Copies of this chain bind each other. A is one copy, B any other.
Amino acid sequence: MAGGISLKELAAELKLAPSTVSRALNDSYEISDATKKRVISMAEKLNYHANPFARSLRENKSKTIAVIIPERINNFFAQVVDGIEEIAQEHGYHLLIYNTHEDLERERKIVNLLLNGRADAIVMSVTSQTSDISHLQKLHDRGLPIVFFDRIRADIPTTKFITNDYESAFEGTKHLIKQGCTKIALLTLGKDLSISQERQRGYSDAILSEGMELNPALTLYCSHEEPHNVKLIQELLLSSDRPDGILSSAEKLAFATYQAIKRTKLRMPSDVKLISFANSSIAGLLNPSLTTITQPALSIGNECAKLLIKKLTKPKHYELLDQVITIPSQLTIRESTLQE
């Protein structure tokens, strides 16, 4: 607005045509080295910066990737975004970031906002409420490259990045069993969520594979409100179905469990053992320290960005195939599942 001269003004100053200046700045072979140097030095002197919107309009691309996440105050999502940004920055891409706050209505609005081409591509993880996907379908139909991660939707034919939710839950549950647990509870979020289903399947299969019984009362469908979850977990811990092991499928549910346990007279890990999907570095600081399944958040972000940028820069050579790419999580055993 205030500062900033245009290409035309720069050209006038140099007594050259705008087309020549443009080519010089873009290092075109049609321009002699002498004038290139002259143009570049004058551009620096006058502090010229190309208007990104004129360029976007002309080239029909914005050098911008939109990222849609359901929560910002969440180590996993924050790390994924860091991973995306790392690659994006290397390639001169900017990041528009949107938080849906786990609200489907907000997700719809944001997605509709992106229908106009403001971003060249989208990386997203859906809300735990997302059942109807017409808004996502519309995005995909429009030809906008989109990849999903973690919370994916199988019904949109594109590439998705996840961790090995099934195996991790399976392994985590097995670990609890090996530590002597016989009544294992599962804390989960939305039923419609891809990852919830996978983790639940892993949990169930592990229990069945050991010849143990599945007790539906031991699966807790939690919400996004901390106090409510704490109460729910507390009730479970005081019920006749009291579990001696808990597999939590989200970091915040593990925190709620610490709270709930604190309110009962139970001791961790002697009375109840806990393992959780988690990405926070404080897992080791909790008392007892928390056994975790850590998702490869940074890598997931990296891969999402790499794939999209390939697709954007060489659209002929790369397709967003309808496939799910899995990057394994890591199990870190700490005190919360220690056998005493």
Query: Which A residues contact B (CB, under 8 angstroms)?
Result: 1-4, 47, 49-54, 56-57, 60-62, 64, 72-73, 75, 78-79, 81-82, 85, 94-99, 113, 115-118, 141-144, 226, 255, 258-259, 280-282, 284-287
- Copies of this protein chain in the complex: 2
- Are A96 and B94 neighbours in the complex by a CB distance under 8 Å? yes
Q: How far is the CA of A113 from the CA of B52 in the complex (A)?
A: 10
- Are B95 and A82 neighbours in the complex by a CB distance under 8 Å? no
- Chain B nearest CB: distance from A110 CB in Å? 8
- Chain B nearest CB: distance from A339 CB in Å? 21
Q: How far is the CA of A287 from the CA of B53 in the complex (A)?
A: 53
- Are B73 and A79 neighbours in the complex by a CB distance under 8 Å? yes
- Chain B nearest CB: distance from A208 CB in Å? 33
Q: How far is the CA of A203 from the CA of B127 in the complex (A)?
A: 44
User: For A50, what are the chain B residues with a Cβ–Cβ distance below 8 Å?
Assistant: 116
- Are A57 and B57 neighbours in the complex by a CB distance under 8 Å? yes
- Are B82 and A73 neighbours in the complex by a CB distance under 8 Å? yes
- Are A258 and B281 neighbours in the complex by a CB distance under 8 Å? no
- Are A94 and B78 neighbours in the complex by a CB distance under 8 Å? no
User: For A95, what are the chain B residues with a Cβ–Cβ distance below 8 Å?
Assistant: 96-98
Q: Which residue of B lies closest to A285 (CB)?
A: B258
- Are A4 and B285 neighbours in the complex by a CB distance under 8 Å? no
User: For A115, what are the chain B residues with a Cβ–Cβ distance below 8 Å?
Assistant: 47, 49
- Are B52 and A116 neighbours in the complex by a CB distance under 8 Å? yes
